[in-house]
């Protein structure tokens, strides 16, 4: 065996000997991860959600939250809002791979930082009596949470807002007797007069 002489631009790393023996390139690169919120307008046909979710698992993408509901009954279309994260390159691929799915009509970046308004709703059940109960109710007013059910020993709060606000509210409720929690995941829409259907 002879090794061909190197010509021109030498690669940064030396020979391949240190790598595990493999027919694949095993090098991994660490890059900065960022979060992105995408809205997918899809044809509301059976299995469309499975296609979208399956794409994320098949290609190793993250899903941080996902919400879906029909938005136009006549046009038969649904809106899926996905919060995902990855490197810039991965996020671009996610968008393109989503568009490759036959029933996906549009993919819009509705991330907060690019002019999207993000909202989430949570139902928070807090059980307790006495001082803690009073404190929970007082804090809920600061967060503009509504009480939607009450017993002598519990409240259920409905709170909406950006995810961080809900996170904060939940952290405050924990020591006050939080027993159950249900969150919708993020919804998002672009600011301004333009509409996307």
**152 lies in the site for another protein, by CB under 8 A:** no
How many residues touch another protein under the rule CB under 8 A: the total is 41
Kindly state whether residue 30 participates in binding another protein, applying the rule CB under 8 A. Answer: no
The binder of another protein chosen from 36, 79, 103, 166 (CB under 8 A) = 103
Q: Name the 3-class secondary structure at 85.
A: strand
Identify the residue among 33, 99, 134, 179 touching another protein (CB under 8 A).
Answer: 99
Q: Is 28 helix (H, G, I), strand (E, B) or coil?
A: coil
CA-based R_g, the chain, Å: 24
Distance from C-alpha of 58 to C-alpha of 67, rounded to nearest angstrom: 19
* Distance in Å, CB of 107 to another protein, minimum: 11
Neighbours of 114 (CB within 10 A): 12
Contact residues: another protein, CB under 8 A:
1-4, 6-9, 11-13, 15-16, 19, 21-27, 29, 42-43, 46-47, 50-51, 54, 58, 89, 92-93, 96-97, 99-100, 102-105
């Amino acid at each position: 065996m002879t090794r061909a002489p190197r010509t021109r631009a030498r690669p940064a790393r030396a020979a391949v000997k240190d790598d595990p023996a493999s027919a694949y390139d095993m090098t991994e690169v660490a890059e900065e991860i960022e979060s992105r919120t995408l809205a997918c307008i899809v044809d509301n046909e059976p299995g469309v959600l499975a296609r979208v979710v399956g794409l994320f698992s098949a290609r190793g993408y993250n899903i941080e939250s996902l919400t879906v509901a029909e938005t136009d009954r006549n046009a038969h279309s649904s809106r899926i809002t996905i919060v995902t994260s990855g490197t810039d390159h991965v996020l671009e691929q996610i968008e393109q791979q989503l568009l490759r799915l036959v029933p996906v009509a549009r993919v819009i970046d509705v991330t907060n930082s690019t002019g999207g308004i993000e909202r989430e709703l949570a139902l928070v059940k807090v059980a307790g009596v006495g001082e803690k109960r009073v404190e929970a109710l007082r804090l809920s007013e600061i967060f503009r949470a509504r009480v939607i059910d009450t017993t002598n020993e519990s409240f259920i709060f409905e709170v909406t807002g950006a995810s961080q606000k809900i996170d904060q509210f939940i952290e405050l409720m924990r020591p006050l007797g939080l027993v159950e929690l249900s969150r919708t995941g993020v919804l998002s829409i672009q600011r301004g007069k333009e509409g996307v259907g």
